[in-house]
């Protein structure tokens, strides 16, 4: 529990809380950016350089902008008329407590907590590349197919309809 971890965790949680409680949807989306950045910094603190930088590249650089565009292109850009917290907050609290208990129990009883501190593997990116191309090549190709399907689906949805030539 170093001071660095506490600062980063506070930043991440504060960003997430801001994303929940702000009224203006674009403010909520922009509040997610410190959350993503805090997560990336936590990855970097764990010496996972590649994942940390890719988190910034993908989440802050692309997903945040995607969320913001989605908010703008739908109707949610005006501030809502009523308060954000409804009377169903108690149910939400229960669900959050149950989810937290399950996740905390799983993490605390998992292998990671019982193993002593691992030595840092030296050329991490080369190892990631090797693993991707040798052990995990099939999941890599499946993910590629999935992304291609998503891309084609997005283009099909966004494509304008051909105007019909002969009426009807």
Partner 1 sequence: MTDRLDQIFVLGKQWLLGQLQGWGLLPADFVPLVSALFSIIFIVVVFAGLFAITTVIERKGLGRIQNRLGPNRVGLPPPFPQLRLAGFGQFIADGIKALIKEDIVPRAADRVVHFLAPVALVVPVLLAYSVLPFGRNMTPIELEAGLLFFFAVGAATELSLFMAGWSSRNKYSLLGAMRAVAQMISYEIPLVLSSLTVVMMVGSLSLPQIVAAQDHYTGTLAHWHIFKPWGFAGCILFLIAALAESNRSPFDLPEAESEIIAGYFVEYSGFKFALFFLGEYLGLFAVSGLGVTLFLGGWTAPFSWLTWIPSWLWFFFKLCALIAVFIWIRGTVPRLRADQLMGLAWKFMLPMALWNIVVAAAWHFTHQAGWHLIVRWLFCAALLVGPYLIFGRAFEAKVGKRTYRYAP
CA distance 38 to 51: 13
Q: Which of 123, 138, 163, 167 binds partner 1 (CB under 8 A)?
A: 123
Q: How far is CA 59 from the centre of its chain?
A: 6
Give yes or no for a contact between 115 and 121, defined as CB atoms under 8 angstroms apart: no
Asked if 53 touches partner 1 (CB under 8 A), the answer is yes
CA distance 139 to 151: 18
Q: Which of 5, 50, 94, 100 binds partner 1 (CB under 8 A)?
A: 50
| Binding range to partner 1, per CB under 8 A, among 68-76, 93-101, 107-115, 133-141 | 68-76
Minimum CB–partner distance for residue 96 and partner 1 (Å): 28
Where are any strands of DSSP class E within the chain? none
Q: Which of 8, 41, 42, 60 binds partner 1 (CB under 8 A)?
A: 60
- Number of residues located near partner 1, criterion CB under 8 A: 22
Give yes or no for a contact between 47 and 119, defined as CB atoms under 8 angstroms apart: no
CA distance 106 to 70: 34
| Binding range to partner 1, per CB under 8 A, among 1-9, 49-57, 99-107, 109-117 | 49-57
Which positions lie near partner 1, rule CB under 8 A? Answer: 24, 26-27, 30, 33, 49-50, 53-54, 56-57, 60-62, 64-65, 68-69, 72, 123-125
């Amino acid at each position: 529990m170093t001071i660095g971890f506490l600062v980063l965790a506070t930043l991440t949680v504060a960003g997430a809380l801001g994303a929940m409680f702000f009224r203006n949807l674009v403010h909520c989306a922009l509040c997610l950016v410190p959350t993503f950045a805090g997560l990336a910094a936590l990855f970097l603190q764990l010496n996972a350089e590649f994942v940390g930088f890719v988190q910034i590249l993908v989440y802050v650089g692309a997903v945040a902008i995607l969320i913001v565009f989605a908010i703008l292109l739908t109707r949610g850009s005006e501030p809502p008329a009523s308060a954000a917290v409804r009377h169903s907050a108690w149910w939400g609290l229960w669900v959050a407590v149950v989810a937290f208990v399950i996740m905390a129990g799983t993490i605390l009883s998992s292998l990671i907590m019982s193993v002593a501190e691992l030595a840092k593997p030296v050329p991490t990116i080369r190892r990631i590349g090797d693993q991707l191309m040798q052990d995990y090549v099939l999941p890599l190709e499946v993910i590629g197919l999935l992304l291609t399907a998503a891309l084609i689906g997005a283009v099909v949805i966004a494509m304008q309809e051909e105007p019909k030539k002969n009426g009807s």
